[in-house]
Structure 1
Amino acid sequence: MSDDATYSAPGLKVVSLGSHLRGVVAERNFKHGEIIAIWRGSIITEREAVALSESERSQLLQVDEDKFLVTHQALVNADFINHSCDPNCGFTDSTTLVAMRDINAGETITFDYAMSDTKSIFAFDCWCGSSKCRKKMNGSDWQIADLQERYAGWFAPHVAQLIKRAKH
């Protein structure tokens, strides 16, 4: 892997989830803590992120309060990992996604975008279908006490810092 290429763990497969939606499914078992993806790319400002097209914004990952990583390469498996309100993956740093629990072959790989996104440019209606579905995802979801408790230790560092500041 080159330093600027996004890493996707072996055993991830992009699948169709409907007419216009794709996602990532585990083709093998993943252990708790195993690296699923490491995103790489260029850092841009929030102002630059807002100016991107909707399809370009789908390749963004918020990595700081006003900084975003954009992958300029051809799409890789990691770029199709979707949101879920009941995810099986979380962050160990700003760009590394790992299994929060053991993941079985056949499971869809997901993370809750509230773990990294704090801006309204990522707001959308959620159709994840989980029993914990919030129906809407927006940039303030990291402030929900239940999520802070459930995802403790799995938030990207900039979100963990916001939570820490909000509690003091």
Structure 2
Amino acid sequence: MRPVPLPAADCWLHPDVEVRASAIAGRGLFATAPLAAGTVVSRLGGRLVDGAALRELFARAARERRYVDTVSVGEDLHLVLPPRRPNGYGNHSCDPNLWWLDAYTLAARRDIAPGEEVTNDYAACTAVADFAMACSCGSALCRGTVTGADWRLPELRERYGEHWIPLLRDRIQAA
């Protein structure tokens, strides 16, 4: 298992991306100018916590009716984003236009047109085995449910190649 680098303290979002109303999930991220394939669109930052701390954080957030943004970055290691950064409005799509470069960085998978919602596949960044989410992305490739085991799907492995968080990339290579 490769070591996990420390994240930046905060998130960065491409200046040509903004939060707007979304048909997928209320609010989402949208391109305001063309973004060429390969352009870095989002760098996530925050603090790292283990699984026990993450479960406690989710329980507290549920009691307080707050949302917590997280990404798996290592075995029993999760990035918790600072509260409600614009990056956290990035919605899921089963046919996303972003993909992962490393544990914290998302880049354009293809050219993205102005006005297009900027999305990623949550299955490519979660290593939580019991994660499951109903999908409403509307894509022709919609899986209906996104899970923490979707990294095992051959069609996703082929579609994303090396563009997974490093932990899942390691699991795919070992499988």
The separation in 1 between residues aligned to 2:124 and 2:38, in whole angstroms, is 16
Checking the alignment, whether the CA contact within 8 Å between 2:127 and 2:167 is kept in structure 1 is: no
Match of 1:66 among 59, 65, 76: 76
Other structure's SS at 1:149 match: helix
Q: How does 1:22-61 map to 2 (within 5 A)?
A: 22-51=27-56, 52=58, 53-54=61-62, 58-61=68-71
* 1:58 to partner: Cα distance: 3.7
- Runs of 4+ with deviation above 3 angstroms: 54-58
- Alignment match of 1:6 (pick from 11, 23, 30): 11
Q: How many percent identity over aligned positions?
A: 31
1:21 Cα shift?
Answer: 2.1
CA distance in 1: counterparts of 2:67 and 2:161, whole angstroms:
27
C-alpha RMSD of matched pairs (Å): 1.8
* Alpha-carbon distance, 1:61 to partner: 1.2
Quick one: which amino acid aligns to residue 26 of structure 1? A
2:74 maps to amino acid:
D
Could you tell me which runs of 5 or more consecutive residues in structure 1 were left unpaired when the two chains were aligned.
Answer: none
What is the 5 A alignment of 1:68-147? Answer: 68-72=78-82, 74-120=83-129, 122-147=131-156
Which whole-Å CA distance do the structure 2 matches of 1:27 and 1:64 have between them? 33
After TM superposition, give the deviation of residue 5 of structure 1 in Å: 1.6
**What's the TM-score, normalizing by structure 2?**
0.86
Counterpart code for 1:70:
V
Structure 2 residue runs of 5 or longer lacking an equivalent are: 1-7
Give the Cα separation in 1 of the matches to 2:68 and 2:107. Answer: 20
> Distance in 1 between the 2:128 and 2:140 partners?
25
- Kindly state the Cα deviation for residue 57 of structure 1 after the two structures are TM-superposed: 5.8
What is the SS of the residue equivalent to 1:69? Answer: strand
